[in-house]
Structures are given as structure tokens and as C-alpha cells.
């Protein structure tokens, strides 16, 4: 299983650049293997990403924007979905990976016992 992160190396949007750096930096810091797929420099990457983002995850108008994450060809989500998984300490589950032993970003937090 390979995590693929679709990015745009020449995006004019500072928000998109920050989101891409956030995702890539997190993956690198946690030693999670991934492939960076640049949709700005490679037409095949752009076409594949646009064709493989599910209908219900597309914007109302226009094309899906990076960053978009896939596990092989399975769509995982956009930056918002990644950010939410990270906030909930569930990144490995979000990515479809097994968390390394002792990782605090492995499983969703258990519900407090009342």
C-alpha cells in the first residue's frame, strides 16, 4: 500500500501551499512512506486525480483541488479530512495503515467511561 499525495507545485494559492506543506511535513515527520504526485507538472497525475476523486467529494463547481490523499487507488480525502483525523489522533486509521507500536496517532481515542 502506497500513500499518494496529489499536490500542485505551482499553485497560486497560499492556502493550498500551506495545506500541502502541512500534509507532507506531517508524513515526513512520522516517517510515513508516501509518493508525491504533482498535478501541475504532470498531466497524467492531474487527469488521474480528477477522475478518481468520488463525486460526493468534488466541489460544487470546478475541479477538485490539492492536496488529495489516496492509498494506492482508494480515495482517502482532502486536507480537511486529513486535518480532522490528525486532530482526533486517528491518522493511521484514516490512511488505512497500521500504527507503529507506541504511536499516539494510531487509534481514535476511546470514549471516557461514565
Q: For 19-68, how does the pLDDT look when each residue is reduced to its tens digit (9 = 90+)?
A: 999 999 999 999 999 999 999 999 999 999 999 999 999 998 999 999 99
Please write the tens of the pLDDT for every residue from 55-80. 999 998 999 999 999 999 999 999 99
- Which fold, 16-64? Glutaredoxin (3.40.30)
C-alpha distances (whole Å) from 8 to each of 28, 62, 108 are 18, 16, 30
pTM of this structure: 0.87
pLDDT surpassing 90 at residue 89: yes
Domain ranges in the chain? 16-64
Amino acid at each position: 500500500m502506497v500513500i499518494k499525495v496529489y499536490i500542485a507545485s505551482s499553485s497560486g494559492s497560499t492556502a493550498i501551499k500551506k495545506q500541502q506543506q502541512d500534509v507532507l511535513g506531517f508524513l515526513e515527520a512520522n516517517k510515513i512512506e508516501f509518493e508525491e504526485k504533482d498535478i501541475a507538472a504532470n498531466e497524467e497525475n492531474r487527469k488521474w486525480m480528477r477522475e478518481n476523486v468520488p463525486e460526493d467529494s468534488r466541489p460544487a463547481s470546478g475541479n477538485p483541488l490539492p492536496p488529495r490523499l489516496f492509498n494506492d487507488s482508494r480515495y482517502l480525502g482532502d486536507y480537511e479530512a486529513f486535518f480532522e483525523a490528525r486532530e482526533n489522533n486517528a491518522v493511521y486509521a484514516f490512511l488505512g495503515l497500521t500504527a507503529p507500536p507506541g504511536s499516539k496517532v494510531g487509534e481514535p481515542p476511546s470514549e471516557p467511561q461514565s
